[in-house]
Amino acid sequence: MSAAENACRECGECLVRCRYLGFSRKKAVREMRRVNLGLPSEIFERCAGCAACNAFCPHGAGPYDRILAAWNARNARRGIPARAAYLLPFSRPNFRTDLPFSAEERALHEKWGKGDPPAETVLYPGCNLLAMPLLATGAIFNRLPVWGRFDLCCSEMYWRMGLFGEVRAAAARLTNFYAGKGVREMVFMCPAGANMFQNVLPGRFGARFDFKISHFADWFLAALDRGEFHITRPLSESVVIHDSCHARLLGEPFMERQRELLRRLGTAVYETRQNRAQGLCCGMAAGCARFSARDIAAAALKALRALDDSPASRAVTYCGGCLLSLETVRAAAAAGKPLVHTLELVRTALGENPPHPGPEKGRALLVGIARNALPAYLSRRRLHFG
């Protein structure tokens, strides 16, 4: 039994506070006991994959880690449905690489993926920013060059699905790639990438990185304080913030830093009724239990309704994956509060006119999933991973 399992008191607090399962205290205790005994549990079929239970646990027992371990064992036995292939980052095509890219976007991909790092401090784009590359242009990225490509994926989606063999392979591949490259600081826009490189890949899968890991909010606020950038067009508007699941794992100071950045731009920051550690998943991970499009859509709609209930004029997320997921479901729902990425607001406050790629990319993702994943929905074929 691991140290985390030893820490579990089977108090049920993590599951009582879950916004998706709706367990009573008695049922929460019973189901957590089943998890600890390695028995089948309703949790494994209904978990939304948001990881908030790790934040809720008062004993640091990591209930989400044990859910992932159970999914890993299940997937090793049974494989995963063929319909999931289009959502896997190393499948070709997949829902990100299959997006229509302009000549300008393709040129950025080529530039970012070439040769050695262009500086000692670089931005890791991750799959989500690579899906919306025009966000990472302008004055900021003259000082903070982007360096990365799709095949350097952090493997976050494999981890969330419980496909640990793929994560272990990615940890070895990334360790080998970055060794000796001369990067001293890797800045992450995506909290998923930051958490994977900082905690998951080294802590559980043997990765070794010799560079400092930081987040864009910290890097940019420090640059503002040094006078390297100036807010020339303060944003006198209100925004409601959506937090990433990985932000909950990175902790309260991380989430507060995102709000500090928005306030420095001049915005009034509103919260949803369920926010920060209590916040809702964008839907991206909700398909990991049953690989169900319905589960993904239901989780995303719940998050969208929470944002739309706010009096703020716009909703903002600092996670590109959250933006893509919410915009995809919004494209089907065709109503609601506008969604923007933090980078759009930062660049606007600096006096630039950034693109607004979310709606277009969301519609394209919806079309891609309808064409590629839904036809395989009734297939009995399973995918097996080593």
Beta strands in the chain (DSSP E): 80-81, 121-124, 185-188, 212-215, 238-242, 268-270, 314-317, 339-341, 382-383
Tell me what pLDDT residue 374 has. 85
Across the chain, mean pLDDT equals 95
What amino acid occupies position 57?
A: C
At a CB cut-off of 8 Å and minimum separation 6, what does 27 contact?
12, 15
Q: What is the pLDDT of residues 62-92, one digit of tens each?
A: 999 999 999 999 999 999 999 999 999 989 8
pLDDT at 115 over 60: yes
Taking residues 283-310, report their average pLDDT.
Answer: 95
Q: What are the residue ranges spanned by the domains of the chain?
A: 3-79, 101-225, 238-377
- What three-state secondary structure class fits 278? helix
Lowest mean pLDDT among 247-256, 297-306, 318-327, 366-375: 366-375
Assess contact for 289 and 295: CB atoms under 8 A: yes
pLDDT value of residue 348: 98
CA 264 to chain centre: 24
Does the domain spanning 101-225 belong to CATH 3.40.50? yes
* Chain CA centroid to CA 122, Å: 20
Query: pLDDT > 70: what percent of the chain?
Result: 98
Report which of 168, 98, 84 is spatially closest to residue 127, judged by C-alpha positions: 98
**Taking the alpha carbons of 93, 94, 97, 102 in that order, is the dihedral positive or negative?**
positive
Q: What average pLDDT score do residues 104-125 get?
A: 97
> Mind giving me the DSSP string for 35-85?
HHHT---THHHH-----HHHHH-TT---HHHHHHHHHHHHHHHH-EEGGGG
- pLDDT confidence of residue 4: 56
So what's the pLDDT on residue 92?
Answer: 87
Mean pLDDT of 33-40: 93
Site of tokens 């990225």: 141
Judged against a pLDDT cut of 80, whether residue 333 lies above it is answered with no
- Round to whole Å and give the CA distance between 218 and 114: 26
Distance CA 117, CA 219 (A): 18
Q: Is the pLDDT of residue 377 over 90?
A: no
Label residues 363-384 b or e (16+ Cβ within 10 Å = b): ebbbebbeebbeeeeeeeeeee
pLDDT(330) > 90: yes
pLDDT of residue 2: 52
pLDDT at 109: 98
Share of the chain above pLDDT 90, in %: 92
Checking if the pLDDT of 1 tops 50, the result is no
What are the tens digits of pLDDT across the range 191-220?
Answer: 999 999 999 999 999 999 999 999 999 999
Mean pLDDT in residue range 176-201? 97
Peptide linkage before 191 cis (omega within 30 of 0): no
193 burial via Cβ count (<10 Å: 0-12, 13-18, 19+): buried
| pLDDT (0 to 100) of residue 94 | 94
